[in-house]
Amino acid sequence: MMDIVHPMDAPLFKGMTSTPDMREIFQADAFVQAWLDVEAALAEAQAEIGMIPAEAAKVIRAKADVRLIDIKKVQEHGKETAHTLLGVLREYRLNIGEPHQTWLHYGATTQDILDSATMLTVARAHVVIERQLDDVIAVLLSLMETHRDTLMVARSHGNHALPFTFGLKVAGWLDEMDRNRDRWRELKARCLVGNMSGAIGTYAAWGEQGVEVQNRTCRILGLGAPRTWWHAQRDRLAEMTNAMSLIAGTSARIAQEIYISCMTEIGELAEAYTKDTIGSSTMPHKLNPIGSEWVRSLASIVRGNADVMAELMTPLNERDGSVWRAEWVKVPETFCLAAAMLAQLHKVLSGLNVNRDRMLENLNQLKGVLLSERVMFVLAKAMPLGVAHEVVHQVSLKALEAKRPMLDLLLADARVSDVCDLTELTEALKPENYTGLSGVVVDALARAVREAEG
């Protein structure tokens, strides 16, 4: 029997709840390796300013390899000491040996190492999410331009509203996701910072060289240096998970739109189908939008985790392990689930089937009533707008009730036929004549996205 609890590690589900590159970043050995990388960077920074021997830093770096750490012994140490890092340090020092082991972890506190290691790991994960956003945006851009002029019905409050284009609908998805990418990029400088400030943030063990030790360590790690110690400042991690929550919100909205459009009664969109896909164990005909469902499921957890991370912004005094340890669960989980969510979204969008014929069928379902606004403005040339609204409202209700073409009832109403002829009304009731600036908006957004990408 496999000792597995979380679906991200279960053979049946890990392919749907995480991605290989994100799993590699957050797998257990990689996390310990990040601790060792931080310790090595600290030693190198201290050696640069003459605080420890240069040879010691070289040995500490050479032995910064998780494969040299006996994890079973670390676990045994943990049971004895109830300390997270100490067991690793014991094994690390044994590998370094005399006389250099005394310079390992010189003046640092556990949270310096673990927080910096967390940010080092998160920085790598940040790159993955940004790359996935790039990929999703590229697919959305292509989809938008391909369907710049594909007519469909716009819906408000769940009902038919006016004609527009599928390209404009996708533009709404693209514009929102592009803002998510902007936010994701912007938080890099603000959030991806290390911390190397000693037991309580005073740099006391390093004297006047303390800030220099921190700055050099962060530089070696490729992280920013904070202005103050952040053992109790957890807003950076909360902001990053909140940014992923916004990405999840957009992803879920797109997936929901696709899901609804896949419904039999609508049928305007469909997820890619392969001959081996099975939608139901008992209904052989079913072809379900599984990808969209996965996006929505994963997005809900990502958004929920952002709430948890906001709760973790309240450590007690200068340090509190209850906050710290909860992050070890939520940060890897959120990044892995977000990566899986974006992978699923990209797959759905890349294989999306757009049924233009069904879009036209739905567009004409109300037999012209969809163009009531356009007819109202035509009538408003000959009567007050309020009167025109009332006339068209009355005619629209009759047309819907009788299930007759709007044009027939308009021509049969003297209030209309006295001021409009057949040609004018016919043109007003053509959906392709009332999509406004849909194409212009699509073109402008496409240019803006491309220009921002350079």
**CB of 108 within 8 A of CB of 52?**
no
Q: Are residues 405 and 324 in the same domain?
A: no
Among 323, 342, 362, the domain-final residue is 362
- CATH classification of the domain holding 93: 1.10.275.10
* pLDDT given for residue 407 in this prediction: 87
Helix, strand, coil % in the chain, rounded to nearest 5: 65, 5, 30
Q: Are residues 150 and 295 in the same domain?
A: yes
CA distance 391 to 377: 11
Instruction: Tell me whether residue 452 is in a domain.
Output: no
Indicate if the pLDDT at residue 370 is higher than 90: no
CA distance 416 to 410: 6
Q: Are residues 179 and 260 in the same domain?
A: yes
Q: Are residues 45 and 137 in the same domain?
A: no
| Residues with catalytic function | 157, 280
* pLDDT given for residue 390 in this prediction: 93
Among 52, 85, 103, the domain-final residue is 103
Q: Are residues 322 and 351 in the same domain?
A: yes
Instruction: Tell me whether residue 445 is in a domain.
Output: no
* pLDDT given for residue 275 in this prediction: 57
Instruction: Tell me whether residue 74 is in a domain.
Output: yes
Indicate if the pLDDT at residue 325 is higher than 50: yes
* pLDDT given for residue 368 in this prediction: 84
- Tokens, residue 31: 């996390």
Indicate if the pLDDT at residue 372 is higher than 60: yes
pLDDT tens, 225-248? Answer: 999 989 989 999 999 999 999 999
Q: Are residues 171 and 79 in the same domain?
A: no
Q: Are residues 147 and 293 in the same domain?
A: yes
Instruction: Tell me whether residue 218 is in a domain.
Output: no
Domain count, the chain: 3
* Average pLDDT of span 129-152: 98
* CB neighbour burial string for 304-331, b if at least 16 within 10 angstroms, e if fewer: ebbebbbebeebeeebeeebbeebeebb
Among 362, 383, 411, the domain-final residue is 362
Residue 33's nearest CA partner among 72, 1, 65 is 65
Q: Are residues 415 and 349 in the same domain?
A: no
Indicate if the pLDDT at residue 321 is higher than 90: no
Q: Are residues 98 and 115 in the same domain?
A: no
CA distance 378 to 381: 6
Q: Are residues 232 and 309 in the same domain?
A: yes
CA distance 160 to 151: 13
Instruction: Tell me whether residue 1 is in a domain.
Output: no
pLDDT tens, 379-432? Answer: 889 889 998 899 889 988 998 899 999 888 888 888 988 888 889 889 988 999
Q: What domain range is 331 assigned to?
A: 110-197+228-362
**CB of 57 within 8 A of CB of 103?**
yes
Q: Please, what is the average pLDDT of the chain? A: 91
pLDDT tens, 51-76? Answer: 999 999 999 999 999 999 888 888 88
* Average pLDDT of span 1-19: 75
Instruction: Tell me whether residue 312 is in a domain.
Output: yes
Q: Are residues 260 and 405 in the same domain?
A: no
Identify the three-state secondary structure at position 379: helix
Residue 275 CA, chain-centre distance (Å), reads 30
With bands split at pLDDT 50, 70 and 90, how would you rate the model's confidence at 186?
very high
- CATH classification of the domain holding 244: 1.20.200.10
Indicate if the pLDDT at residue 280 is higher than 90: no
* CA-based R_g, the chain, Å: 30
Indicate if the pLDDT at residue 80 is higher than 80: no
Q: Are residues 71 and 118 in the same domain?
A: no
Residue 381's nearest CA partner among 430, 413, 425, 411 is 425
Instruction: Tell me whether residue 99 is in a domain.
Output: yes
Instruction: Tell me whether residue 167 is in a domain.
Output: yes
